[in-house]
Amino acid sequence: MRELELLKEAKRFWDAKDFYSAHEVLEDLWRLFPKEDKHSRNCCQGLIRLAIAYNHYLCGRRDSCLRVLRMVKDQLQPCGEFFIYVNLASIREFLEEHINLLERGQDIQSFPELHLSGDF
């Protein structure tokens, strides 16, 4: 299944904190969903934006990171606990925490893992 292959590749980049490369792979995943499947494309785009937000943070662009994290929080809301194989519940916890930290001028100490469900 092409979706799973791309997710595993994105996870490898994500785990290495190479969020820019993870976002590139997630864009390839996004392209697999038909334009009519707006829900899946929206949820996938939320993950793409999350990777970009963390890339902004690592590049010292805290304001851009915060702006995108707020957008991602709203975008992932209708996506449920899981989107394809990705555990969004754990990501949402980090989103809240990271938005609060950045609003208070504090640093992000750790990033969410891209938890994939299932036995691979």
pLDDT tens digits along 78-113: 999 999 889 999 899 999 999 999 999 999 999 999
pLDDT tens digits along 37-53: 999 999 999 999 999 99
Residue with tokens 């791309």: 6
Residue 118: band (very low, low, confident or very high) from pLDDT cuts 50, 70, 90? low
* pTM summary value: 0.93
Q: How far is residue 8's CA from residue 110's CA, in Å, rounded to a whole number?
A: 20
User: Quick check: 115 and 86 in contact, CB under 8 A?
Assistant: yes
pLDDT tens digits along 8-33: 999 999 999 999 999 999 999 999 99
* Domains of the chain with bracketed CATH: 2-103 (1.10.3450.10)
Residue 120 has pLDDT above 60, yes or no: no
CA neighbor of 53 nearest in space, from 65, 63, 44: 65
